[in-house]
């Protein structure tokens, strides 16, 4: 499938299907569309009338056109209210168009959508993202190919000019999102700490990244007792992955740290039936997005040095398992009383954050499928965000808004740390039930001393049960686009 920008308009383009976007309650035919309607013998206006098409967000309509016209089918998509129009509107509209075109077995598709902020390049980039992400299908584990194979060969973005660079940029970003999706979607017998490290190795070899993989002995030498406490019960060795994108003369230096539990049984505090244990293959959603961001950033080549850190392991049960009540010592010397072995992600992140800060970076962002409490608070579509630096927090929120990924800033209420205090160690790894996502963030805060830091709890949005927007049912690749956009902002 090839996406191309073109100077062709709705009047000069011809092909299988033409897609048009309209704002809510503004479904009026411009002069060009009136001429097009005349050429199509009134089919456009007829479709608007018969479908009662009002341009509401996600409203769609499609019809076949007589064979004598320049196009065989017309597709209409609603863009919603004009005051809410933005880059994410274009991506979602493009996703709707892509799915309709696939359903109708369209081979050549022309898309005519309004420009965002009069920027042809950003418009082309947003539309391309929506198309690519909506059309991505993961059939690796099926014995037979999908019956409805993609027929689309060419998609023309009308009235935007060539836009090769913008479209290529979107393809690169989407390649990272798709990598994250496929890592998160894969079962725990396919993505293990070992194969996770192999993916990092392939990224390093393909895109010229630096790679260090710390084995168990290396982690022991660095005093990573918190990470290794979680890893003890698994028959598979832990892998501490440090990928680095290092451009010449970087203007900034940042770290992205992703929780990388390739499977979480809960440990001796085992997850019972009905607890969602069968979905715990996606507990490496933060790490998957971290490697996805690495793939995209390595291709985009911004003048920003980026360290990608994943402490990969399983949380399993065996005679070697960490016990409730054990005390672990993290690599910064702080001691942790383990009162719940199912709060293991924060234990792996503790040593990863200490490692990241020792790199002398300007900012650290960690992302993790950390707490069910965050889903209770914000639902499945919105991730929580905690930060120690207002400027860094605003950067992440701005990046997320520009790509249409949703975050909500949450409080680092220091008083709540009282619930984590231990009589026999510096802290416990879990606090009371109330405010669980906040106390989890406060736990992580103990392992970053001075560096500006943001914690993203992405437990809800890394997976969706229903197709919506640019996401198909399953793993979403959230929040690769936000991370990439944030890094690109550092160069501005």
Q: Pick from 119, 73, 128: which is nearest to 98 by CA?
A: 128
273 φ, ψ (degrees, to nearest 5): -60, 140
Structure tokens at 398: 């701005």
In this structure, which topology does domain 2-161 adopt according to CATH?
Answer: 3.40.220
Looking at residue 145, what is its pLDDT? 64
Task: Tell me the C-alpha distance between 290 and 259, whole Å.
Answer: 9
What is the reported pLDDT for 219? Answer: 98
Distance CA 78, CA 44 (A): 14
E-strand stretches of 201-315: 210-214, 239-245, 252-264, 304-315
Give me the pLDDT at residue 144, please. Answer: 76
Right CATH for 171-490 from 3.40.109.10, 3.30.70.141, 3.30.70.100, 3.40.630.10: 3.40.630.10
Count of residues for the chain?
492
Average pLDDT, 10 consecutive residues per value, the chain (492 residues): 96 96 95 95 96 96 88 97 95 97 95 96 98 94 72 96 97 98 97 98 98 98 98 98 97 98 97 87 98 98 98 97 98 98 98 98 98 97 98 98 96 97 98 96 98 98 96 97 97 86
Count CB neighbours of 331 within 10 A: 21
Cα gap 458→475, rounded to integer Å: 12
Q: What are phi and psi of 327, to 5 degrees?
A: -115, 125
Q: What is the pTM of this model?
A: 0.97
3-class SS at 441? helix
Cβ pair 94, 130 in contact under 8 A: yes
Helices 164-185 and 285-300, axial angle in degrees (round to 10): 160
Catalytic choice (81, 99, 252, 271):
271
CA distance 70 to 38: 12
Provide the pLDDT for residue 66.
76
Q: Where are the domains of the chain?
A: 2-161, 171-490
How far apart are alpha carbons 255 and 234 in whole angstroms?
27
Best CA proximity match to 448, nearest among 328, 279, 334, 288: 334
CA distance 45 to 26: 13
- DSSP output for 64-115: E--TTSSEEEEEEEE---GGG--HHHHHHHHHHHHHHHHHTT-SEEEEE-PP
Closest-CA residue to 259 (of 226, 233, 232):
226
Which residue from 43, 33, 30, 27 is spatially nearest to 11, judged by alpha carbons? 33
Q: Is 64 a catalytic residue?
A: no
Query: What pLDDT score was predicted for residue 67?
Result: 73
CA pair distance 476, 474, nearest whole angstrom = 6
What pLDDT shows up at residue 146? 60
Cβ-based neighbours of 190, under 8 Å, separated by 6 or more: 141
Active site residue 271: yes
Per-residue pLDDT, 210: 98
What is the predicted pLDDT for the residue at 279?
92
CA gap 92, 467 in Å, rounded: 12
Q: What is the pLDDT of residue 148?
A: 57
Catalytically annotated residue among 73, 87, 232, 346: 346
The whole-angstrom separation of Cα 58 and Cα 51 is 14
């Amino acid at each position: 499938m090839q996406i191309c920008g073109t100077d062709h308009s709705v009047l000069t383009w011809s092909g299988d299907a033409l897609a048009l976007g309209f704002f809510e309650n503004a479904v009026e035919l411009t002069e060009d569309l009136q001429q097009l309607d005349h050429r199509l013998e009134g089919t456009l206006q007829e479709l608007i009338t018969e479908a009662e098409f009002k341009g509401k967000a996600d409203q769609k309509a499609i019809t076949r056109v007589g064979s004598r016209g320049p196009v065989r089918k017309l597709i209409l998509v609603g863009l919603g209210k004009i005051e809410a129009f933005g880059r994410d509107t274009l991506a979602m509209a493009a996703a709707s168009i892509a799915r309709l075109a696939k359903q109708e077995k369209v081979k050549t598709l022309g898309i005519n959508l309004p420009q965002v902020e009069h920027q042809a390049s950003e418009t082309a980039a947003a539309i391309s993202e929506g198309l690519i992400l909506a059309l991505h299908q993961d059939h690796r584990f099926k014995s037979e190919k999908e019956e409805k194979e993609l027929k689309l060969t060419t998609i023309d973005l009308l009235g935007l000019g060539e836009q090769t660079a913008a479209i290529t940029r979107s393809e690169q970003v989407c390649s990272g999102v798709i990598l994250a999706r496929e890592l998160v979607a894969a079962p725990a017998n396919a993505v293990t700490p070992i194969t996770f490290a192999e993916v990092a190795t392939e990224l390093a070899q393909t895109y010229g990244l630096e790679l260090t993989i710390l084995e168990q002995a290396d982690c022991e030498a660095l005093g990573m007792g918190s990470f290794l406490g979680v890893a003890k019960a698994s028959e598979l060795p832990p892998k501490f992955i440090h990928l680095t994108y290092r451009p010449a003369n970087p203007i900034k230096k940042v770290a992205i740290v992703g929780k990388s539990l390739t499977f979480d049984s809960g440990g001796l505090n085992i997850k019972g039936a009905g607890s969602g244990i069968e979905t715990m293959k996606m507990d490496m959603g933060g790490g998957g997005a971290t490697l996805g961001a690495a793939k995209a950033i390595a291709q985009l080549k911004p003048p920003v040095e980026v360290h990608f850190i994943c402490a990969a392991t399983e949380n399993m049960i065996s005679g070697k398992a960490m016990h409730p009540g054990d005390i672990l010592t993290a690599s910064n010397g702080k001691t942790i009383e383990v009162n719940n072995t199912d709060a293991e992600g924060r234990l792996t992140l503790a040593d990863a954050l200490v490692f990241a800060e020792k790199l002398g970076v300007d900012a650290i962002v960690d992302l993790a499928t950390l707490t069910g409490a965050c889903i209770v608070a914000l639902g499945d579509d919105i991730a929580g965000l905690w930060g120690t630096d207002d400027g860094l927090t605003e950067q992440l929120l701005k990046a997320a808004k520009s790509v249409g990924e949703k975050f909500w800033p949450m409080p680092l209420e220091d008083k709540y740390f009282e619930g984590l205090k231990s009589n026999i160690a510096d802290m416990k790894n879990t606090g009371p039930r109330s405010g669980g996502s906040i106390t989890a963030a406060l736990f992580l805060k103990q392992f970053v001393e001075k560096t500006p830091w943001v914690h993203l709890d992405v437990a809800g949005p890394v997976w969706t049960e229903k197709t919506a927007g640019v996401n198909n049912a399953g793993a979403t690749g959230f929040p690769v686009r936000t991370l990439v956009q944030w890094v690109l902002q550092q160069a501005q």
